[in-house]
Amino acid sequence: MFDIFGFLVSWLTLFGIYAILSLCLNMEIGYTGMTNFGLVAFLGIGAFVTGYVSISMFLSLYGYNYPIYSLDAVIAMGQISGKNPLLNLSAFVASLILSFLVSGAIGYLITYPTLRVGPAFLGITILSFGEMLRIFMKHFEPTGGAYGLLGIPNPFAWVPDPALKSQLFMLTTLAILAGVFLYYRKLSESPYGRVLRSIREDEVASLCLGKPVPAVKARLLFVASGISGIAGSLLVFYTGSVSPDMFVTAVTFEVWGMVIVGGRGNHTGALVGAVLFSLLNRVSSALSFLFPGMLFDPNYVRWMLVGVIIVAALMYRPKGIFPEKPIRTEAWNIFEGPATDRGLKKRLLEVLKRSARWLLG
Amino acid sequence: MCALLEVKGVSISFGGVEALKDVSLKVEEGSLTGLIGPNGSGKSTLFNVITGIYRPSSGVVLFQGKRIDGLNPNEIYEMGIARTFQNPRPFGSMTTLENLMLSPKGQRGESILKAPLKRSWLDEELEIANNVKTLMSQVGMLDFYKIPASDLSGGHTKMLETSKGILGGARLILLDEPTAGVQYAVGRRIFEHIDSLRKRLNLTYFVIEHRIDILFDFADYVYVLHMGKLIAEGRPEEVASNPEVIKAYIGG
Mind listing the pLDDT tens digit for each residue in A105-128? 999 988 777 766 767 788 888 899
Three-class secondary structure assignment of chain B? CCEEEEEEEEEEEECCEEEEEEEEEEEECCCEEEEECCCCCCHHHHHHHHCCCCCCCEEEEEECCEECCCCCHHHHHHHCEEECCCCCCCCCCCEHHHHHHCCCCCCHHHCCCCCCCHHHHHHHHHHHHHHHHHHHHHCCCHHHCCCEHHHCCHHHHHHHHHHHHHHCCCCEEEEECCCCCCCHHHHHHHHHHHHHHHHHHCCEEEEECCCHHHHHHHCCEEEEEECCEEEEEECHHHHHCCHHHHHHHHCC
Mean pLDDT of B134-157: 88
CB contact under 8 A, B53 and A195: no
Distances (CA, A) of B58 to A45, B17, B66, B67: 46, 14, 16, 13
Is residue A161 within 8 angstroms of chain B, CB to CB?
no
* pLDDT tens digits, B113-125: 999 999 999 999 9
Residue of A nearest to B48 (CA): A208
Chain B residues within an 8 Å CB radius of A210: 74, 77-78, 105-106, 168
Backbone angles phi, psi at A72, to 5 degrees: -60, -40
Residue of A nearest to B150 (CA): A201
Judge whether B62 and B241 are in contact, CB under 8 Å. Answer: no
CB contact under 8 A, B125 and A191: yes
CB contact under 8 A, B102 and A194: yes
Q: State how far the Cα of A195 lies from the Cα of A155, in Å rounded to an integer.
A: 39
Q: Strand pairing partners for B226?
A: B229
> What beta strand segments (E) does A73-185 contain?
149-150
Distances (CA, A) of A10 to A52, A60, A73, A89, A163: 24, 31, 27, 21, 10
What integer pLDDT is reported at residue A352 of this predicted model?
83
Chain B residues within an 8 Å CB radius of A194: 94, 98, 101-102, 110
Is residue A134 within 8 angstroms of chain B, CB to CB?
no
Nearest to B155 by CA among B90, B207, B81: B90
pTM metric for this prediction: 0.89
- Domain limits at A171? 4-330+339-360
CA angle, corner B191, sides to B190 and B194, nearest 5? 90
- At B188, the amino acid letter reads R
CB contact under 8 A, A192 and B118: no
Is residue A141 within 8 angstroms of chain B, CB to CB?
no
- CA–chain centroid gap for A255, Å, is 8
CB contact under 8 A, A211 and B111: no
Domain count, chain A: 1
CB contact under 8 A, B129 and A335: yes
User: Which of B85, B103, B115 lies at the smallest CB-CB distance from A190?
Assistant: B115
Is residue A219 within 8 angstroms of chain B, CB to CB?
yes
Distances (CA, A) of B249 to A8, A95, B40: 76, 70, 12
Sheet holding B204-208, edge to edge: B81-83, B172-176, B204-208, B32-36, B221-226, B229-234
Looking at chain B, the domain(s) classified CATH 3.40.50.300 span 1-90+169-187+199-252
Nearest to B148 by CA among B139, B157, B140: B157
From first to last of its 361 residues, chain A has per-residue pLDDT tens of 678 898 999 999 999 999 999 999 999 999 999 989 999 999 999 999 999 999 999 999 998 888 888 889 999 998 888 888 999 999 999 999 999 999 999 999 887 777 667 677 888 888 999 999 999 999 998 888 889 999 899 999 999 999 999 999 999 999 999 999 999 999 999 999 999 999 999 989 999 999 999 899 999 999 999 999 999 999 999 999 999 999 999 899 999 999 999 999 999 999 999 999 999 989 988 888 888 777 778 888 888 888 899 999 999 999 999 999 888 888 888 887 655 555 667 777 887 888 888 777 6
What integer pLDDT is reported at residue A328 of this predicted model?
85
CB atoms near residue B52 (< 10 Å): 22
Residue of B nearest to A186 (CA): B116
Strands B17-28 and B3-14: what pairing? antiparallel
What integer pLDDT is reported at residue A145 of this predicted model?
87
CB contact under 8 A, A186 and B82: no
Is residue A201 within 8 angstroms of chain B, CB to CB?
yes
* pLDDT tens digits, A322-350: 999 888 888 888 887 655 555 667 777 88
* pLDDT tens digits, B177-235: 988 888 888 889 889 988 988 998 889 999 999 888 899 999 999 999 999 999 999 99
Among positive and negative, which fits the CA dihedral A68, A69, A75, A80? positive
CB contact under 8 A, A208 and B111: no
Is residue A327 within 8 angstroms of chain B, CB to CB?
yes
What integer pLDDT is reported at residue A360 of this predicted model?
74
> What beta strand segments (E) does chain A contain?
149-150, 241-242
Instruction: Grade residue B72 by pLDDT with cuts at 50, 70 and 90.
Output: very high
User: Which of A183, A198, A324 lies at the smallest CB-CB distance from B116?
Assistant: A183
User: Which of B112, B118, B168 lies at the smallest CB-CB distance from A220?
Assistant: B112
pLDDT at B50 over 90: yes
Distances (CA, A) of B127 to A151, A295, B101: 57, 66, 10
What integer pLDDT is reported at residue A194 of this predicted model?
95
What integer pLDDT is reported at residue A298 of this predicted model?
80
Q: State how far the Cα of A28 lies from the Cα of B108, in Å rounded to an integer.
A: 22
What integer pLDDT is reported at residue A31 of this predicted model?
95
Is residue A337 within 8 angstroms of chain B, CB to CB?
no
User: Which of A197, A207, A223 lies at the smallest CB-CB distance from B74?
Assistant: A207
Interface test with A, best of B51, B53, B54, B110 (most A CBs within 10 A): B110
First to last CA, chain A: 39
Distances (CA, A) of B203 to A156, B27, B28: 66, 12, 11
Interface test with A, best of B54, B74, B114, B135 (most A CBs within 10 A): B74
Backbone angles phi, psi at B62, to 5 degrees: -115, 135
Query: What CATH number is associated with residue A348?
Result: 1.10.3470
Nearest to B170 by CA among B112, B103, B234, B125: B103
CB contact under 8 A, B109 and A208: no
Nearest to A262 by CA among A323, A345, A214, A173: A323
Q: Is A101 helix (H, G, I), strand (E, B) or coil?
A: helix
What integer pLDDT is reported at residue B132 of this predicted model?
92
Strands B81-83 and B172-176: what pairing? parallel
CB contact under 8 A, A195 and B102: yes
CATH of region B1-90+169-187+199-252, choose from 3.40.50.150, 3.40.50.2000, 3.40.190.10, 3.40.50.300: 3.40.50.300
Residue B145 distance to chain A (closest CA, Å): 8
Is residue A198 within 8 angstroms of chain B, CB to CB?
yes
Judge whether B99 and B108 are in contact, CB under 8 Å. Answer: no
Chain B residues within an 8 Å CB radius of A209: 74, 77, 82, 102-103, 164, 168
User: Which of B53, B111, B115 lies at the smallest CB-CB distance from A204?
Assistant: B53
User: Which of B74, B110, B142 lies at the smallest CB-CB distance from A192?
Assistant: B110
Q: State how far the Cα of B170 lies from the Cα of A79, in Å rounded to an integer.
A: 69
- Diameter over CA atoms, chain A: 75
- CA–chain centroid gap for B222, Å, is 15
- At B73, the amino acid letter reads P
pLDDT mean across residues, chain B:
90
* pLDDT tens digits, A53-87: 999 999 999 988 888 888 899 999 988 888 889 99
ipTM: 0.89
Is residue A332 within 8 angstroms of chain B, CB to CB?
yes
What integer pLDDT is reported at residue A357 of this predicted model?
81
CB contact under 8 A, A327 and B129: no
